Chains A and B, each alone.
Chain A
């Protein structure tokens, strides 16, 4: 009996909330618009952040150090050098590339250039054997450099060590950009979330004002506080839901347009294709997030507004 009673009350609150939502459509438009902006910023920040991180990993993975060995270096010295390098904390991995392998690779890379291939085949293998090092931390290769620059090690090398180090500056730039965008995203989200709350707050205040005589009558007839308050909260939650759906639809459209426009290529350091796939893969999670945040912002502001403007205290 009690459950049935509560169910009836609950259904009526939901119904009244939906009715309010429809009646207040014009008033609610502002609330929805600003909430859509907030949610879209959140979504973009997340996707941009992942895309940057992905780009960084991609570039970082390619960083390596090549140590070219003189042909005169014997097996013993070579193995000793590999062992020494492997013992360094800053070295993750050491791969030995023999002269023959180096030649194979070179030929493979220049498959199309017949003249070059012909020229090479007519001489002895001109390519040195090398050690390919992967640093543990691409941002800190100084210890490796120091080791390789030492007099006795230098002796073994045929050419200057290649650091592919210019990539580091690029990575630094992206890392900085990522953290900047991350911070800007958080600030933007906070600012817009606050504005959304203010506008929803005002919308509910207006709605309460418009219906004040009805609310007074409800109160005098003995409606409970939750029964009076409930529809306003349902209304705000609906703002959140509608905004979440609109926001994800906008992002969806933007991605499909951008994919067509850029032919799924990279746009500077932003890998559009990755962002697109990332968005598609996590679509339902993002939808859930958008709805969740929208509902949260809506219900919190409605709770505050109703607490503030539905005064039920009896004066003494």
Chain B
């Protein structure tokens, strides 16, 4: 599903964000990428969504080789991957429903289908009945679940979540993690970055530890000690 082969990313001559990262993620896997701030977690995700290009190395996602990807094909790639951003990236002047519908609108899904799909996805993330709320009326955890709903509404095969629990208290953080587990059970590959030890250690999933731009460890059912 996802393959990184000796991927190196330099932002400039002195700062090396990633050095020769190689990893392989199977379909339907739940992978947690951990590491201290600045270790390179976010860079890996940005490479996957093509917000950044690798300096060297090969990236293949869902059969798409990024080295042959043209700029105008990036939208097609991004439609196959659902992304949950640390800062939510919701539209402040649109309702919960509209924010989720937005992901469908921009790819040309019909209104009928939008009206049918969005409530079901909001139900999955536990936001039933809050369709008409504005983002400013919601808690951090709820906002993050709107972002997740938007990321999965197009039923992507891969869901990338960048520190989705970063700004949340433990209760809300767990709400978000439960939703991600549920989505994973439905068959979506989930890649999650976090530095929340408690969550990582309780989940008992594959854990990849990044340190100074390199993979320090990669263990099935791993743990994280910073």
Contact = CB atoms under 8 A, between A and B. Distances in A.
Given A221-B78, A221-B102, A314 B72 contact: no
A315 interface: yes
A315 B75 contact: no
A217 B94 CA distance: 13
A221 B108 contact: no
Given A5-B108, A6-B108, A220-B89, A225 B75 contact: yes
A314 B53 contact: yes
Given A220-B51, A314-B50, A315-B53, A225 B110 contact: no
A contact residues, range: 20 to 34
Nearest to B109: A8
Interface in B39-56: 49-53, 55
A113 interface: no
A220 B78 contact: yes
B52 A314 contact: yes
B71 interface: yes
A216 B78 CA distance: 13
A285 interface: no
Contacts of B90: 217
A213 B88 CA distance: 12
B9 to A, nearest CB: 9
Contacts of A29: none
B159 interface: no
A76 interface: no
B86 to A, nearest CB: 13
In the complex, which of the residues B53, B72, B91, B107 has the most CB atoms of chain A within 10 Å of its own CB atom? Answer: B107
Contacts of A218: 102, 106
Contact of A221 (B71, B72, B106): B106
- Which of B51, B83, B108 neighbours the largest number of chain A CB atoms within 10 Å of its CB? B108
A8 B91 contact: no
Given A4-B110, A8-B110, A222 B53 contact: no
Interface in A1-60: 4-6, 8-9, 12
Interface in A199-214: 213-214
A212 to B, nearest CB: 12
A316 interface: yes
A150 interface: no
Contacts of B74: 222, 312, 314
A315 B91 CA distance: 25
B103 interface: yes
B105 interface: yes
A24 to B, nearest CB: 15
A223 interface: yes
Contacts of B75: 222-225
Interface of A: 4-6, 8-9, 12, 213-214, 216-218, 220-225, 227, 312-316
Given A312-B74, A315-B53, 7 more contacts: A9-B108, A12-B108, A221-B103, A222-B74, A222-B106, A224-B106, A316-B53
Q: List the 5 shortest-distance A-B pairs measured between CB atoms, nearest first.
A: A222-B78, A223-B106, A222-B79, A316-B53, A9-B108
Interface of B: 49-53, 55, 71-72, 74-79, 83, 85, 89-91, 102-103, 105-110, 150
14 contacts: A6-B108, A214-B91, A216-B89, A217-B102, A220-B49, A220-B78, A220-B83, A220-B89, A221-B103, A222-B106, A224-B72, A314-B51, A314-B74, A315-B52
